[in-house]
Amino acid sequence: MLDNADLGKLIIRLTLGCLLLFHGIAKLLNGVGFIEGQLASHGLPTVLAYGVYIGEILAPLMVILGYQTRIGALIIVFNMLVAIALVHTHELLALSRSGGWALELQGFFLFTALAVIFLGPGRYKLKN
């Protein structure tokens, strides 16, 4: 019998993981120069920019596969908080041109990852 709750958890995991993974792949292809610049402008070591590969490649793969899912989701939450702090703080209360929240994509990644932390991976996952 198909469990709707477990299927829903799988859909949430796949959506979060796949959509964020595209951002990580883009950074693999184009580099992390923008992030290095943001870190430098905040007086932080630019080597920290490489942590984005953990937050946007490794963690999404963990969430997609259901392997150490809560840890992967926690890494994504941290990654998004850092991204918001470095780049988007001026947009926290802003609306986009289309009328939505200016940070709706970052909010989606942040709050969906937070939900995955509380929900867990569900039945459809790699065995830990």
Number of domains in the chain: 1
Q: Is 8 domain-assigned?
A: yes
Q: Is 127 domain-assigned?
A: no
Instruction: Give the per-residue SS3 of 39-70.
Output: HHHCCCCHHHHHHHHHHHHHHHHHHHHCCCHH
pLDDT in tens, 43-54: 999 999 999 999
Banded model confidence at residue 127, pLDDT cuts 50, 70, 90: confident
What pLDDT shows up at residue 128? 62
pTM of the model: 0.94
Q: Is 65 domain-assigned?
A: yes
Boundaries of domain holding 35: 4-119
Q: Is 128 domain-assigned?
A: no
